[in-house]
């Protein structure tokens, strides 16, 4: 009941005229960037970071939350009409959604995606509301050693589990950790990795790296392979209302998607890709007509879309309760907290209760706004999708310039952004994941802090991470995450060999 | 059967190894006060640098032994397209300190659009002017981002 009172207080803040405006602006921008291929919520939040100097923290986070949720809705529109997933989490939606659109059923596909996102997003936000205080209670019992080990799980999950190659993921993670070290060491005041440059004393600006990796790298990558074709945009066809049959086939996948998505997002092994794959697989198993899958089965849109949005809410759980971001957007939001001088973690709910609860309340409001923005106003987003590529990428680079140059009016920052963009282009070309770099860079300094605190408490004894049972359990999970996939693959391969040679 | 290593992948792996060595060198040059000898400012940089070195060496071995697993041979680069975008970025950096952000935005926008196949430079420049002005006003006025002073910005 106490939770409900706190939530009501949050609604009181979130429903002020100014904050409603921020929520709407966030949802609108978020849907737009979700719809546009090549840019996403992480880049948008990074570009909006300067707002933290202008408005109260609650308003800024309501804006960011709107962008974050909005991009999930917008991404599905692109997947369905263009077959180019706007976000990695909507790859699965493209499978069935694009097939539906090809068969003149774009309307029902968009409708089941938007309504499913709303249903699952609301369920997951409710789960966040009621589970977060419980997690906070548990988290308050963790010491620095446990924290460090928990961060190791997060590092391993984003770099070794997701993505196509553990080696490439871990390389990028360590690169991110190195980037995070640059600047003055907070405990001793010594400059590290600064090459004697004053500009680097404050560390590498998150905005510059994020904009370089997302906007500049994406543009250069597409320019480099420019000759290789354009996508075809399918027209908006079919009624935007679900028929009775569509609805009957959709509502169970929505609920199942929510149940799958939230826990996947909430455990520090985050990421929205896994739950969408999982949901798709389950829906295909359970479908009454599985032969329709691959040819536009509505269940294959409803389930993964619901899972995707539920996991987006789930990701906010470790972020708000533990200060542990498991997606790139969450990591950039974490740096926004730092810019307000707020340290996310279990104490956040006590010291910044009003901020947290108004942000959670805004998620309910944002979901409702997004349902309206994405169904009756869908025509607007189809027009946004029609922006020709030459002008779209020209505009993206102009905004990227503001992001980097606006930090300190320094051409050095601009050059750093170009350099990061060039490296990012090579990363895309050779299939290196981007998320581990950003998460390593933002979470790395926090991990170092916990590491040093734990080592100080144990008087320099490294075994403290293994002798404390909870910490040891976390490290065992992290080790299992790295080792399990290759072992399972080897096992499967040996069984396949055994079967083929009788 | 072992394929010939691909030169571009090899170069990228070497770049990462070089970064790791640079990072190790910087770690060694952090002065350590004896008070912090045990868990001082160098412990974590050591972990990060050695980790980067180990994994970039694994990548180097993969690249030497026939290519990174799961990465397709790359299509050839469209140098003309990339060149236009690169020229736009260079013009942007030069103009932003001299004529100001809006003019830099016009050049960047028009060159990038050209790189992506647009054939109407004047129209692109005009759109770029609009985008630049809107972005400048939006960020400078609403977000309070200082994007510097230029020939045009002073008048607004």
For the segment A139-177, what is each residue's pLDDT rounded down to a tens digit? 888 899 999 999 998 898 888 876 668 889 999 999 999
Q: Which residues contact A249 (CB under 8 A, 6 or more apart)?
A: A298, A299, A302
Mean pLDDT, residues A97-108: 89
Owning domain of residue A496: 2-500
Residue among A226, A411, A430 minimizing CB distance to B81: A226
A236-240, A352-356, B125-129: range with highest mean pLDDT: B125-129
Residues in chain B within 8 Å Cβ distance of A398: 105, 108-109, 128, 131-132, 135
Q: What torsion, rounded to 10 degrees, do the Cα atoms A112, A116, A118, A124 define?
A: -170
Per-residue model confidence as pLDDT tens for chain B (156 residues): 345 567 788 888 999 999 999 999 989 888 776 665 567 788 899 999 999 999 999 999 988 887 777 776 666 788 899 999 999 999 999 999 888 889 999 999 999 999 998 889 999 999 999 999 988 888 877 777 777 766 666 666
Which residue in this structure is represented by tokens 């609920």?
A255
Q: What is the pLDDT of residue B137?
A: 85
Q: What is the pLDDT of residue A26?
A: 94
Residues in chain A within 8 Å Cβ distance of B107: none
Residues in chain A within 8 Å Cβ distance of B84: 223
Number of domains making up chain A: 1
A355-370 pLDDT, tens digit each: 999 999 999 999 999 9
Sign of CA dihedral A171, A42, A480, B40: positive
% of residues, chain A, pLDDT over 90 = 37
What is the rounded CA–CA span in Å between residue A299 and residue A288? 10
Q: Which residues contact A78 (CB under 8 A, 6 or more apart)?
A: A34, A35, A36, A37, A84, A85, A86, A90, A385
A451-460 pLDDT, tens digit each: 998 988 888 8
Residues in chain B within 8 Å Cβ distance of A451: 39, 43-44
Query: pTM to 2 decimals?
Result: 0.87
Q: Which residues contact A275 (CB under 8 A, 6 or more apart)?
A: A257, A260, A261, A264, A265, A307, A308, A310, A311
Mean pLDDT, residues A414-437: 90
Sign of CA dihedral A361, A362, A365, A368: negative
A325-343 pLDDT, tens digit each: 888 899 999 989 988 988 8
CA angle A348, A49, A204 (to 5 degrees): 95
The pLDDT confidence band at residue A233, using thresholds 50, 70 and 90, is: confident
- In Å, what is the CA distance from A205 to each residue of A180, A273, A299? 10, 28, 43
Name which of B23, B41, B50, B71 to mutate to probe chain A: the one with the most chain A Cβ atoms within 10 A of its Cβ: B41
Q: What is the pLDDT of residue B114?
A: 93
DSSP state of B7: H
Q: What is the pLDDT of residue B64?
A: 87
Q: What distance in Å separates residue B155's CA from the closest CA in chain A?
A: 19
Residues in chain B within 8 Å Cβ distance of A203: none
Q: What is the mean pLDDT of chain A?
A: 87
C-alpha atoms less than 13 angstroms from C-alpha of A208 in its C-beta half-sphere: 22
The gap from C-alpha B38 to its chain's centroid, in whole angstroms, comes to: 36
Name which of B44, B126, B135 to mutate to probe chain A: the one with the most chain A Cβ atoms within 10 A of its Cβ: B44
Q: What are phi and psi of A192, to 5 degrees?
A: -130, 140
Q: What distance in Å separates residue A193's CA from the closest CA in chain B?
A: 5
ipTM, interface predicted TM-score of the complex: 0.89
Contact between A378 and A77 (Cβ < 8 Å):
yes
A489 touches chain B (CB under 8 A): no
Q: What is the pLDDT of residue B42?
A: 86
What is the rounded CA–CA span in Å between residue A192 and residue A396? 33
Residue among B9, B74, B139 minimizing CB distance to A402: B139
Mean pLDDT, residues A394-422: 90
Q: What is the pLDDT of residue A502?
A: 45
Q: How many beta carbons lie within 10 A of that of residue B88, not counting itself?
A: 26
Residue A438: both structure tokens together: 């950003």
């Amino acid at each position: 009941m106490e939770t409900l009172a706190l939530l009501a207080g949050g609604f009181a803040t979130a429903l002020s005229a100014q904050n409603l405006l921020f929520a709407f602006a966030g949802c609108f921008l978020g849907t737009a960037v979700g719809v546009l291929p090549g840019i996403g919520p992480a880049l948008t939040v990074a570009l909006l970071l300067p707002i933290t100097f202008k408005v109260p923290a609650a308003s800024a986070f309501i804006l960011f939350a709107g962008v974050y949720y909005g991009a999930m809705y917008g991404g599905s529109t692109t997947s369905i009409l263009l077959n180019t997933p706007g976000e990695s989490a909507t790859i699965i939606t493209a499978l069935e959604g694009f097939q539906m659109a090809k068969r003149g059923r774009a309307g029902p596909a968009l409708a089941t995606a938007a309504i499913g996102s709303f249903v699952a997003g609301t369920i997951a936000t409710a789960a966040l509301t009621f589970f977060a205080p419980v997690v906070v209670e548990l988290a308050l019992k963790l010491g620095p050693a446990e924290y460090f080990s928990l961060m190791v799980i997060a590092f391993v999950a984003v770099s070794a589990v997701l993505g196509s190659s553990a080696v490439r993921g871990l390389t990028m993670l360590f690169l991110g950790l190195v980037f995070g070290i640059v600047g003055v060491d907070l405990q001793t005041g010594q400059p590290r990795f600064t090459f004697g440059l004053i500009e680097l004393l404050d560390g590498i600006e998150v905005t510059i790296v994020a904009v370089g990796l997302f906007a500049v790298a994406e543009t250069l990558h597409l320019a480099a392979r420019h000759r290789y074709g354009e996508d075809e945009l399918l027209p908006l066809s079919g009624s935007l209302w679900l028929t009775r049959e569509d609805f009957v086939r959709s509502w169970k996948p929505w609920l199942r998607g929510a149940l799958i998505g939230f826990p996947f997002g909430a455990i520090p092994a985050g990421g929205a890709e896994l739950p969408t794959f999982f949901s798709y697989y389950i829906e295909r198993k359970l479908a009454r007509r599985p032969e329709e899958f691959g040819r536009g089965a509505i269940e294959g849109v409803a389930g993964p879309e619901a899972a995707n949005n539920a996991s987006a809410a789930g990701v906010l759980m470790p972020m708000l309760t533990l200060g542990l971001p498991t997606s790139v957007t969450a990591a950039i939001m974490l740096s926004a907290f730092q810019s307000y001088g707020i340290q996310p973690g279990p104490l956040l709910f006590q010291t910044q209760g009003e901020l947290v609860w108004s942000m959670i309340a805004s998620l309910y409001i944002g979901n409702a706004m997004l349902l309206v923005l994405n169904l009756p106003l869908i025509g607007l987003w189809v027009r946004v999708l029609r922006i020709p590529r030459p002008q779209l990428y020209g505009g993206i680079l102009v905004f990227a310039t503001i992001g980097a140059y606006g930090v300190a009016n320094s051409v050095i920052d601009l050059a750093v952004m170009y350099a990061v963009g060039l490296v990012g282009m090579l990363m895309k070309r050779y299939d290196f994941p981007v998320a581990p770099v950003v998460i390593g860079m933002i979470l790395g300094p926090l991990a170092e802090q916990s590491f040093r605190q734990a080592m100080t408490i144990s008087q320099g004894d490294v075994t403290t991470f293994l002798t404390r049972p909870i910490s040891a359990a976390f490290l065992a999970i992290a080790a299992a995450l790295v080792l399990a996939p290759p072992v399972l693959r080897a096992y499967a391969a040996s069984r396949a060999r055994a079967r083929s040679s009788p | 059967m072992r394929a010939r290593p691909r030169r571009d992948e090899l170069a990228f792996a070497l770049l990462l190894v070089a970064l790791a060595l640079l990072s190790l060198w910087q770690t060694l040059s952090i002065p350590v006060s004896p008070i912090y000898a045990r868990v001082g400012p160098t412990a974590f940089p050591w972990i990060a640098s050695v980790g980067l070195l180990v994994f970039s060496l694994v990548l180097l071995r993969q690249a030497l032994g026939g290519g990174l697993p799961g990465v397709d041979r790359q299509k050839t680069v469209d140098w003309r397209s990339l060149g236009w975008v690169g020229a736009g970025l260079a013009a942007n950096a030069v103009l932003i300190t001299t004529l100001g952000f809006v003019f830099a935005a016009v050049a960047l926008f028009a060159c990038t659009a050209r790189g992506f196949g647009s054939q109407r430079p004047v129209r692109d420049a005009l759109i770029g002017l609009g985008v630049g002005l809107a972005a400048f006003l939006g960020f400078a006025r609403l977000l309070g981002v200082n994007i510097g002073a230029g020939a045009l910005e002073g008048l607004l």
